[in-house]
Amino acid sequence: MTSSAQLITSDRPQEAGTTIETTCCYCGVGCGVDAQVQDNQVISVSGTQAHPANLGRLCVKGSSLHETQRSPDRLLTPMLQGEPTSWDTALDYAAQKFQAIIAEHGPDSVAFYLSGQLLTEDYYIANKLMKGFVGTANIDTNSRLCMASAVVAHKRAFGGDTVPGCYEDLEQTDVLILVGSNTAYAHPVVYQRIARAKELRPDMKIVVIDPRRTATCEIADIHLPIKPGSDAFFFNGLLQYLAEHGHTDHDYIAAHCNGFDEALAVAAEQVPTPEAAAGICEVPGEDIEHVYRLFAAHEKVVTVFSQGVNQSSSGVDKGNALINCHLATGKIGKPGATPFSITGQPNAMGGREVGGLANQLAAHMGYDNPASIERVAQFWQAPNMARAEGLKAVDMFDAIHAGKIKAVWVMATNPAVTMPDAGKVREALQQCELVVVSDCIGNTDTAKLADVVLPASTWSEKHGTVTNSERCISLQKGFLAPPGEALHDWQIIMRFAQKLGFGEHFNYRHQVEIFREHAALSALDNTAGVARRGFNISALAEISEQDYENLSPIQWPVTIESPKGTLRLFSDGQFYTPDGRARLVPITARLPVKTQLPNQVIMNTGRIRDQWHTMSRTGTAAKLLGHVDEPYIDVHPDDVTRFGLLEGDLAVLKNRGSVYYGRVKPSASQRLGEVFVPMHWNGKYASSSCADALVNPYVDPICGQPEFKHSPVMIKPFRQAWNGFLICTQDISPNCEYWAKITLDAGYKFRLAGGESLTNWRTWAHSQFPEISDWVTVEDSDQQFFRTAGFIDGVLQVMFSTATDKKSAAEMRWLEQQLGRAIDASGRFAILAGIPGAGVEDEGAMVCSCFQVGEKTIRKAISGGCASVEALGEKINCGTNCGSCIPELKAMLR
Ligand code: SF4
């Protein structure tokens, strides 16, 4: 039974075998998910065939949603100063502190820091509470770290924060340029759609512009490994090339654009030739010219840009430099022709709709227009309307550090890990008078620093709307009851508003009432001229509760004229500027703020395939840690030699007093002098591998987005005196210099290393587990080898061994399988002797997470004659479910 027509509430356990249509909670692709529910649990998931974003596909993260359902770290009750308490006590405490601080220091002494994981309804009332009732615009979001540059670039060019195109454009185009986007890992289903389009139309050209050769390059016709941060030089050169060779669209420019001459003059002076672009971008001139010719020769060109463009001290300019080229050629608003910003988070777009950034007001209105402030104040009946922009994320945490902001509420995000200079952010939170965190997990690095921690609902429990990268609003359905005392974020904010004395304006009974208000605000005075705004869902302003529960995915604007939504915008050449004309912006391209010293490498940060953000969900699934199970550093092979590193050993990156430990992976995909590290690891999963702690807090001066992609850092080998591994049933923080935790089905595995010799292995190992008294141990006399196993009631609880590098992978896997099992005397001997049982093979690194197919098995199949992805799939299943591993299979075949 498909229940899209049913009203599903979290209070009503589901009948056996129910299928719920909902939406994935991870990335900005926004895939539809069919969740199979039985006995009040999600037992499996599959892609919704009819959802326009994914048409039945899911990536490995989405197809593992059911496996990340139950976290041992789930927060079940409100906590005040580390002790469980009631909702009333916790919220009274928070409200009284907020009120006292505001009374003494004014409304700008408090702040909210939100998340692109929140639903639109949550976002809407948080924004309304702060900007209209508390009286401050100090409300920002982790979307600041993701796409703030694109927001401002859109506003400058189009007069509004509007993505003109849709996913179909990426399939229909003749030339697809992916710039600063490892689509294969960051937006896997969009990548699959592009890969399929390329298979069907091999003449479609795909260009990847990225300093790294990423998995996305597997489908590229050409890869330009440009110097980090040089994107705007490339696009300025393109604009000049288009003009010089007669490829600009004079009629389109004359009818629909302003600023062409000024933009061209700056571009031509800065990058007069493809050779000049080649010199700055550090790629061959013929490759640059080849891409320029492709852009010029085809009507249908799409330029997709993402974090590689946005996370920069000049991200706004980069966005405008590439949009300039589309405007100058009229390649916008047409099938297969558009610039396309793809967002990282599931509801980054929804946050932008409600105005959840400190420099936005609400519903695509800004603080630059006093009439807009008045309009919103009246609509909200706001007694304390904030009349100026608030502090953006980096400035906000600086103000907390400086003691200017004295109370902060963090919702559904983990800034102690994800902010640049994250160590300073931790200090700021430690010093802050009041830190409130609402989250589903109670022991994130940020929650550990909070005075008040409030349990929030999560995917499968939350109920409300999200908007994906192509402006498509979908319902993320709540169909399971939140555990313990967890509440939905909108309920928490509403209760808090009531405690602050604003109950009359925060008295919603159901999410639909918030949604209707949000839709009505989008329609308010949204008419021709200065007030006309792209975000308009007026046709949904009176949606019934039943229609809301049955809401089919729909792309805004949704108005009387376009009640079924709008696939693409600007087809009529009309933009949201006062005169209706698009603006080309003169761009003086510039390189990243901090230059590299000779003994430094440039650290680039980004996502890996199977993890999401700070791993609070994806880190709990053993399957999702099979692909990459430890923090690592991709290093060019010549840099491995130059810095005295060794493949597979640990190395340390250092900057601003922070360190990152990672396993060295020599990689010819890196440019010389540059390294790549994953952004996901944090204090829950590793001793010291928080990449963002090393990122400098340099931001784009216009939008405040930090420069995550370019941090000069020191690199050196970690001289380990010992290494080992530990498997155990309980979660601990081992007492040693380096550890990384890997979730197993029956417990945890830790890789360990120390810089100084341990004098007594036995004391060290046994002291980590004081509750265990039944130990068996084997060691040699000169302390070169040590192995111990601990049992409770005959069940294996712990196994610790030194010298990991001398253990075979098969042995390790076998030992992991013994955890939590009753072990007899001969079994104890086998564990100490390290003799694997029969039938346990070394799979190597996990490539196909869905079917648990490892690298060695795949290589064996290739040696045995499998010459294509399809042949591998037929023989050993890999790549036949979600397809996320296909780029790696192709690379192995190549
Ligand atoms: Fe979820 Fe993957 Fe789709 Fe992103 S691409 S929304 S993570 S299933």
Quick check: helix, strand or coil at residue 338?
A: strand
What's the pLDDT band for 28 if we cut at 50, 70, 90? very high
**Which burial class, exposed, middle or buried, applies to 633 when counting CB atoms under 10 A from its CB (0-12, 13-18, 19+)?**
buried
Strand partners, 605: 677
Q: Which of 720, 715, 752 is nearest to 733 (CA)?
A: 752
The amino acid at residue 762 is R
Q: Which residue has the higher pLDDT, 282 or 886?
A: 282
Closest C-alpha residue for ligand 1 atom 2: 59
Alpha carbon 768 to its chain centroid, in Å, reads 34
CA of 53 to the centre of ligand 1 (A): 9
* Residue 229 in tokens: 């941060």
- The pLDDT assigned to 4 comes to 33
The amino acid at residue 629 is D
Mean pLDDT of the chain: 92
* Residue 529 in tokens: 């001229």
Residue 5 pLDDT greater than 70, yes or no: no
Q: Which residue has the higher pLDDT, 434 or 116?
A: 434
786 φ, ψ to 5°? -150, 135
What is the sign, positive or negative, of the torsion defined by CA atoms of 63, 69, 73, 76?
A: positive
Ligand 1 contact via 61 beta carbon (within 6 Å) = yes
* Residue 443 in tokens: 């022991």
Closest C-alpha residue for ligand 1 atom 8: 62
Q: For a pLDDT cut of 70, what percent of the chain falls above it?
A: 96
Indicate the top mutation candidate among 189, 460, 624 to test ligand 1's pocket, ranked by most ligand atoms within 8 A of CB: 189
Q: Are 476 and 121 in contact (CB under 8 A)?
A: no
- The pLDDT assigned to 11 comes to 44
- The pLDDT assigned to 3 comes to 34
Ligand 1 contact via 31 beta carbon (within 6 Å) = yes
Total Cβ atoms within 10 A of residue 876: 19
Indicate the top mutation candidate among 46, 48, 59 to test ligand 1's pocket, ranked by most ligand atoms within 8 A of CB: 59
Pairing of strands 674-678, 650-655: unpaired
Q: What value does the mean pLDDT take over residues 310-326?
A: 97
Q: Are 737 and 752 in contact (CB under 8 A)?
A: no
Sequence-distant (6+) residues with CB within 8 A of 826 are: none
What's the pLDDT band for 850 if we cut at 50, 70, 90? confident
Q: Are 520 and 541 in contact (CB under 8 A)?
A: yes
Q: Which of 165, 282, 298 is nearest to 231 (CA)?
A: 282
Residue 859 pLDDT greater than 80, yes or no: yes
Closest C-alpha residue for ligand 1 atom 4: 27
Ligand 1 contact via 352 beta carbon (within 6 Å) = no
Q: Which letter does DSSP use for residue 129 in this model?
A: I
CA of 674 to the centre of ligand 1 (A): 29
- Consecutive H or E run containing 179: strand 175-179
Indicate the top mutation candidate among 22, 31, 468 to test ligand 1's pocket, ranked by most ligand atoms within 8 A of CB: 31
- The pLDDT assigned to 751 comes to 92
- The pLDDT assigned to 499 comes to 98
How far apart CA 600 and CA 561 sit, in angstroms, is 57
* Residue 596 in tokens: 């590299």
Strand partners, 176: 206, 302
Q: Which of 591, 673, 590 is nearest to 228 (CA)?
A: 591
Q: Are 786 and 762 in contact (CB under 8 A)?
A: yes
Ligand 1 contact via 32 beta carbon (within 6 Å) = no
CA of 51 to the centre of ligand 1 (A): 12
Residue with tokens 């294996």: 796
How far apart CA 716 and CA 706 sit, in angstroms, is 26
- The pLDDT assigned to 718 comes to 96
- Its pTM stands at 0.92
Order of all β-strands in the sheet with 464-467: 464-467, 472-476, 554-555
Closest C-alpha residue for ligand 1 atom 3: 31
Residues listed for the chain = 894
Over residues 45-57, the pLDDT tens digits come to: 999 999 999 999 9
Q: Are 786 and 763 in contact (CB under 8 A)?
A: no
Q: What value does the mean pLDDT take over residues 84-98?
A: 98
Q: Are 412 and 688 in contact (CB under 8 A)?
A: no
Q: What value does the mean pLDDT take over residues 332-357?
A: 93
CA of 355 to the centre of ligand 1 (A): 24
CA of 62 to the centre of ligand 1 (A): 5
Whole-number Cα distances in Å, 478 to 8, 9, 462, 830: 7, 6, 5, 48
Q: What value does the mean pLDDT take over residues 189-209?
A: 97
Residue with tokens 């690199």: 715
- The pLDDT assigned to 10 comes to 43
* Residue 890 in tokens: 């192709």
**Least confident piece of the model among 228-242, 317-331, 755-769, 823-837:** 823-837
- The pLDDT assigned to 236 comes to 98
78 φ, ψ to 5°? -60, 145
- The pLDDT assigned to 810 comes to 66
CA of 114 to the centre of ligand 1 (A): 21
Kindly provide the b/e burial profile for residues 123-142, where b requires at least 16 CB atoms within 10 angstroms of the residue's own CB.
bbbbbbbbbbbbbbbbbbbb
Q: Which letter does DSSP use for residue 111 in this model?
A: E
What is the sign, positive or negative, of the torsion defined by CA atoms of 151, 157, 159, 165?
A: negative
What's the pLDDT band for 102 if we cut at 50, 70, 90? very high
Strand partners, 706: 699
- The pLDDT assigned to 12 comes to 44
Ligand 1 contact via 45 beta carbon (within 6 Å) = no
Report which ligand 1 atom has the smallest distance to the Cα of 190: 5
- Consecutive H or E run containing 490: helix 489-499
- The pLDDT assigned to 842 comes to 62
* Residue 5 in tokens: 């027509």
Residue 609 pLDDT greater than 60, yes or no: yes
Residue 259 pLDDT greater than 80, yes or no: yes
What's the pLDDT band for 829 if we cut at 50, 70, 90? confident
How far apart CA 641 and CA 666 sit, in angstroms, is 10
Quick check: helix, strand or coil at residue 242?
A: helix
Q: What value does the mean pLDDT take over residues 370-379?
A: 95
Q: For a pLDDT cut of 90, what percent of the chain falls above it?
A: 78
